[in-house]
Amino acid sequence: MSGGGSRQSGSADDARIPADREQEHRAVKRSFRTRAIHVGNEVDPQTGAVVPPIHMASTFQQPGAGKWGTFDCSRSGNPTRGNLERTLASLEGGCNALAFSSGMAAIHGVTMILRSGDHGVAGCDLYGGAYRLLHKICNRSGISVTLVDMTDSSAVDAAIGNHTRLVWAETIGNPRLTIPDLHELARITHAKDALLGVDNTFGTPALLRPLEHGVDIVMHSATKYLGGHSDCLGGTLAVSDPQLYDELYFIQNATGAVLDPVSSFLVARGLKTLDVRVRAQSETASHLAVWLQQHSRVKQVFYPGLPTHPQHELAGRLFEGGFGAMVTFELDGSIEQTARVCESTQLFHLAVSLGAVESLIEQPATMSHASYDAADREKFGISDGLIRLSVGLESFEDLQADLDQAIEHSL
Ligand X SMILES: Cc1ncc(COP(=O)(O)O)c(C=O)c1O
Catalytic site residues?
75, 127, 199, 224
Taking the least distance from each CB to ligand X, the nearer of 174 and 344 is 174
Taking the least distance from each CB to ligand X, the nearer of 104 and 143 is 104
User: Does the footprint of ligand X cover residue 104 (CB under 6 A)?
Assistant: yes
Residues between 344 and 383 that touch ligand X (CB under 6 A) = 353
C-alpha distances (whole Å) from 341 to each of 285, 348, 411 are 18, 11, 8
Among 127, 245, 329, 380, binds ligand X (CB under 6 A): 127
Smallest distance, ligand X to C-beta of residue 257, A: 10
Query: Cα angle at 255 between 231 and 122, to 5 degrees?
Result: 75
Among 74, 76, 80, 102, binds ligand X (CB under 6 A): 102
User: Does the footprint of ligand X cover residue 201 (CB under 6 A)?
Assistant: yes
Taking the least distance from each CB to ligand X, the nearer of 37 and 352 is 352
Residues between 165 and 184 that touch ligand X (CB under 6 A) = 170, 174
Taking the least distance from each CB to ligand X, the nearer of 192 and 269 is 269
C-alpha distances (whole Å) from 159 to each of 210, 359, 398 are 22, 37, 45
3-state SS, 27-43, equals HCCCCHHHHHHHCCCCC
Q: How far apart are CA 224 and CA 293, in angstroms?
A: 26
Taking the least distance from each CB to ligand X, the nearer of 22 and 199 is 199
Among 103, 173, 175, 197, binds ligand X (CB under 6 A): 103
Number of residues that bind ligand X (CB under 6 A): 15
Among 88, 138, 159, 233, binds ligand X (CB under 6 A): 233
Across the beta sheet with 360-362, the strand order is 298-302, 326-331, 386-390, 360-362, 349-350
Q: Give which of 302, 263, 267, 262 is closest to 285, Cα–Cα.
A: 302
Strands (E), 177-315: 195-199, 217-221, 235-239, 298-302
Q: How far apart are CA 369 and CA 50, in angstroms?
A: 42
Smallest distance, ligand X to C-beta of residue 224, A: 6
404 Cβ neighbours under 8 A, 6+ residues apart: 295
Q: How far apart are CA 269 and CA 253, in angstroms?
A: 24
Taking the least distance from each CB to ligand X, the nearer of 170 and 384 is 170
Stretch that binds ligand X, among 50-58, 197-205, 240-248, 359-367 (CB under 6 A): 197-205
Among 223, 264, 286, 390, binds ligand X (CB under 6 A): 223
C-alpha distances (whole Å) from 319 to each of 39, 96, 313, 325 are 23, 22, 10, 12
Positions touching ligand X (CB under 6 A) are 102-104, 127, 129, 170, 174, 199, 201-202, 221, 223, 233, 235, 353
